[in-house]
Amino acid sequence: MLTETEDPMTERKEFVITHEIDAPRDLVWKALTEPDRLAEWWGPKGFKWIGCTLELKPGGAFHYGMASPGGLEIWGKWTYGEIVPPKKLVFINGFADAAGNLVRAHFSETWPIEIHNTWTLEEHGGKTTLTMRSYPVNATEAELANFEGAREHLERGFAGTFDQLAAYLARP
């Protein structure tokens, strides 16, 4: 489910997506925070995992690489802020190079370089509701407009990624 909210203090518009996963919160948390588990589901469908490093602590980073079916290498980086196991992850993410430096997205000169994310997990009856709230930081007007115009694409992309998470957790 996609909703749009505005923070009255900053007037920023957030991208918000919620996904229900048929798995307990502790297991979902492990899938979000352990490298071997992330490699099983994170990223666009059909991409191959190249590798990653993950240091789960405030100021630590998750730096990962994937290759598209056509061979394009894409790297990303999350820099963690707040970590509240198994309830909340707060991080800044962006596209990166193989060395971990944030870079422009390969698909757009006006995609925001940094995006603030808050992911929360709530368990109800053995199922987990994952809510992702995201917004650009340190962005130009053009970057903000590009992010705002990409909501439908973001919804489809993250819904697909979270479907992969659910399928991974459903495996025996």
Indicate the fold that domain 20-125 takes in CATH: Alpha-D-Glucose-1,6-Bisphosphate; Chain A, domain 4 (3.30.530)
CA–CA dist 43, 51 (Å, integer): 12
pTM over 0.85: yes
- pLDDT tier at 3, thresholds 50, 70, 90: very low
Q: Chain-centre distance of CA 103, in angstroms? A: 17
Q: State the pLDDT at residue 13.
A: 87
Give residue-wise pLDDT tens across range 83-118.
999 999 999 999 999 999 999 999 999 999 999 999
Q: Where are the domains of the chain?
A: 20-125
CA–CA dist 53, 172 (Å, integer): 26
Q: Count other C-beta atoms under 10 Å from residue 13's C-beta.
A: 16
Region 73-79: what's the mean pLDDT? 98
- pLDDT tier at 11, thresholds 50, 70, 90: low
Q: Output the average pLDDT for the chain.
A: 93
CA–CA dist 162, 126 (Å, integer): 17
CA–CA dist 22, 129 (Å, integer): 9
